[in-house]
Structure 1
Amino acid sequence: MAGRPTVRSRRLGAALKKYRLVAKFDQPQAAEVIANHQARVSRIESGHVVARPIEIRVLLAAYGMDDPEVCGRLEKLAKDANRRGWWHEYAERLRPDYVDHITLESDATHVRDWHPAIVPGLLQTPAYAEAVMRSGPMSLTPERREFLVQVRMRRQVKVAESGTVREFIIWEPVVVHPMSSAEVHREQLAALLEAGETENVTIRVLPFSAAVLAGTTGFAAFSFGAEPTAEAVTVEHLGGTLVLEEPEDVAPYEHTFDLLRSAAMTPEESALNIRNALRSVDGH
């Protein structure tokens, strides 16, 4: 593989590096295991080269990692490293970092999403998404907005089809105060209630009283195994999307989400909060 590493090849490389460090192997020793040069191990771990299945099996065996599920998952990552996803038809018109986000989202078994200012993208209605883009700081043409809304709706469909477990935390002002027109807000609140009744989806509302926590930057955390332990995080900023994959970078976000969840309403309380907000949209 040449050029820019894919998010999957980076995940594969990072996993192999993690197991190497746990086993207290250095790169020259790992190179001896696969009868190759240290440069290849380095490029595998950086994601610039995709390890072959036999290399993955031999390295994991040398590192003392004999869990067949781990081996199978890493071999699948290697197989899929350069595979084109459903988003390929849109890729030329999307930023590479946004493509990375979609790839993580597509591969994840668990997605946890917190956004203090707006409804998370995976829950937005088309009208709400268009309103967010229209009123945001970036100047987008109507055609560009329409295209990005289309991609966002496709993301929602694909994640729902995959059975990914999704957990969302939304700050109460987002629920109570219309970001756009009453009609758009009403439709969005109804969509939240419907989504909250969907299997594998949990929605929690963070109350006004948790304002200090609500100052936390929005982010999405992704897990790829049976357990919901975060393995990658994306953080949106004005210049694009920051992708974090190193354990020491991911850990603070996982801790923050736990704090937000503890301070948030229960799913049942959250549904009642959203239902009350829906009733009051037009003063009823």
Structure 2
Amino acid sequence: MTSTEPHPPLFVRPLGSVEHNPTALKLILGAKLRELRLRAGLDPAAVDSRLGFSRSKTSRMELGRHGCKAVDAQALLRLYGVHDEQAVEEFLRLAAQSRRQDWWSTYHDVLPEFLAPLVALEGAAAIIRAYEPFYMPGLLQTPAYARAVIESGPARLMPHEVRRRMDLRHERQRQLDQPDAPRLWAVLDESVLLRRVGGPLVMREQLEFLAAMMARSHVTVQIAPLDVTAAVGVGTGVTYLRFALTDLKDAVYIEHLTDSTFSQKPHMVEQYRDMMDRLGACALTPKETLALVRERIAAY
């Protein structure tokens, strides 16, 4: 493509609420820069050298790990043959947005590093699919249940730290109240209903809250009987994020005791998506699940 030919739009659809998610924007801009670089036939080292960047700076920006300053964005777009003023202006505007602080940055003191990728991107997802083998999903926990789960963790927390983590969980839940809220589809191991977290009163309140959330059109909950989860072979919590924007690759978050794995590698994402599909197909239907939840409520 010559400099005199019109450049195709950089972003083919409105980004919507994603524009307010700096982490998601970094990934989108990074993917776009990589696409433009490949189209220009350059490798990252060559770009670093020609623009006087530090080693691997181009790669870090493309991976969304490094914010893109205006001066860097302009230099990259020129190098890649993007001269359309409107396209450049749009890119610079989004680059500035991506350098803002994420809403969750104020909770850096209590947000474990391994949880940050999930918290950063779940609000930008179109669909959140979760499998939980031990506890209610964080997005569906009552304050009392959340407190019991947080206090039972491996770390010894001060009272103010517990409160801060509860506040963070509440802020995450508020995303489900937004007009453009993601669809939440959760599959719970049957043992989650049987495990008395926090005692009978806490569990009854939690189950009543779960039943109320299931009445929302964008929340689907299924219970996987014990023989189902044994057959599928899932041993840990998994969250799968599906994005409406083609510039954002789907992601999986696999939780461990003291850390996690967050990946957007296609082969890993596909493997866990298949697992989630098999679980959903074998689990109780939402209607059957609601009946079982009400049975458990009556038992308290």
TM-score class, shorter:
0.7 to 0.9
Match of 1:52 among 50, 73, 98: 73
Match of 2:197 among 163, 175, 179: 179
Distance 1:77 1:234, change over 3 A: farther
Distance 1:259 1:41, change over 3 A: same
Match of 1:107 in 2: 124
Match of 2:267 among 248, 253, 257: 248
What's the offset of the Cα at 1:24?
10
Q: Structure 1: which 5+ residue stretches go unaligned? A: 1-5, 62-67
Match of 1:200 among 218, 224, 227: 218
Worse-matched range after superposition: 40-49 or 260-269: 40-49
Distance 1:142 1:262, change over 3 A: same
Match of 1:190 among 196, 205, 208: 208
Match of 2:184 in 1: 166
CA deviations 1:75-122 (Å, max 9, x no partner) are 886454222232232224423333332111122222111111111100
Q: Secondary structure at the match of 1:216?
A: coil
Distance 1:21 1:279, change over 3 A: farther
CA deviations 1:160-193 (Å, max 9, x no partner) are 3241111111111111342331111101110110
The alignment status of 1:12 with 2:12, answered yes or no, reads: no
Q: Distance in 2 between matches of 1:260 and 1:76?
A: 42
What's the offset of the Cα at 1:48?
2.8
Letter in 1 for 2:277: D
Worse-matched range after superposition: 7-16 or 88-97: 7-16
Match of 1:120 among 131, 134, 137: 137
CA deviations 1:190-234 (Å, max 9, x no partner) are 01100001121111111122123363321111122168x971122
What's the offset of the Cα at 1:19?
4.6
The alignment status of 1:90 with 2:111, answered yes or no, reads: no
Q: CA RMSD in A?
A: 3.5
Q: Is the 8 A contact 2:251 2:269 kept in 1?
A: yes
Match of 2:15 in 1: none
What's the offset of the Cα at 1:250?
2.1
Distance 1:268 1:75, change over 3 A: farther
Q: Is the 8 A contact 1:219 1:236 kept in 2?
A: yes
Match of 1:259 in 2: 278
The alignment status of 1:130 with 2:151, answered yes or no, reads: no
Q: Structure 2: which 5+ residue stretches go unaligned? A: 1-21
Q: Distance in 2 between matches of 1:55 and 1:204?
A: 47
Q: Distance in 2 between matches of 1:24 and 1:57?
A: 11
Q: How many residues align?
A: 264
Q: Which has the larger radius of gyration?
A: 2
Distance 1:261 1:87, change over 3 A: same
**Structure 2 counterparts to residues 70-89 of structure 1, below 5 A:** 78-89=95-106
Q: Is the 8 A contact 2:238 2:255 kept in 1?
A: yes
Match of 2:258 in 1: 239
Match of 2:6 in 1: none
The alignment status of 1:144 with 2:161, answered yes or no, reads: yes
**Structure 2 counterparts to residues 34-45 of structure 1, below 5 A:** 36=51, 41-45=58-62
Worse-matched range after superposition: 245-254 or 6-15: 6-15
Match of 1:224 in 2: 243
CA deviations 1:21-50 (Å, max 9, x no partner) are 997955269959xx8579554343233353
What's the offset of the Cα at 1:59?
5.9
What's the offset of the Cα at 1:139?
2.1
Match of 1:3 in 2: none
Distance 1:78 1:168, change over 3 A: farther
Q: Distance in 1 between matches of 2:116 and 2:165?
A: 12
Worse-matched range after superposition: 106-115 or 13-22: 13-22
Q: Secondary structure at the match of 1:97?
A: coil
